[in-house]
Amino acid sequence: MQTFKVYPKRISSTGNDERFDFTCERFEIKDEQFILYNSTDKESAEGFISFKDVAAILPDQGENYYHFHGKPLTFLVYLRNRSKPLEISADAFRIEGSCVVFLAQRPDSLGQVEADRPLPGIYIALSEVIAITPSDGLQTWRA
């Protein structure tokens, strides 16, 4: 089982970051709902996360959760109602519908991107994103 950090869209009236931990094997998004999986990797009805109230979900293990072919970038994701950005290690990202999908890229023998693989266990609601940028800025040498 894995622990995920869940970031609600709204923070508490006291201004505290009300992030909470949620433990399940994995989750998927289907028809704007979170489908949660139990320890035997079967769909579970024992838990619920409200899709409309969540800004982001990240694996608790961070960069160590994924296998990259090189050193990934650290992306800073600035969300509404949060003063500190979320940090996500990935090679790239793309917008898919109402979500931001972070990617690991597999290079070919010439170093060109051969395949993109979405990183599992990450959900970012596009409606909550103010900005996304690499932590070292937009560099021309990466273009």
| pLDDT tens column, 4-22 | 999 999 866 666 667 899 9
Residue 117 or residue 110, greater confidence: 117
Residue 76 or residue 14, greater confidence: 76
Q: Which amino acid is at 92?
A: A
**Could you tell me which residues come within 8 angstroms of residue 36 by beta carbon, excluding any fewer than 6 positions away?**
24, 27, 43, 44, 46, 47, 48, 49
C-alpha span between 83 and 43 (Å, rounded):
35
Q: Are 104 and 63 in contact (CB under 8 A)?
A: no
| Confidence bin at 117 (pLDDT 50/70/90) | confident
Instruction: Specify the pTM.
Output: 0.86
What is the pLDDT averaged over residues 117-137? 95
pLDDT of residue 29: 93
pLDDT of residue 143: 57
Per the structure, the count of domains in the chain is 1
List pLDDT tens digits, range 79-92.
998 889 999 999 99
- Which of 62, 7, 52 shows the shortest CA–CA distance to 29? 52
C-alpha span between 70 and 112 (Å, rounded):
13
Question: DSSP secondary structure string, 1-53?
Answer: -EEEEEEESS--TT-----EEEEESEEEE-SSSEEEE-TTS-B-SS----GGG
C-alpha span between 31 and 45 (Å, rounded):
16
Boundaries of domain holding 121: 2-142
List pLDDT tens digits, range 32-73.
999 999 999 999 999 999 999 999 999 987 555 566 667 889
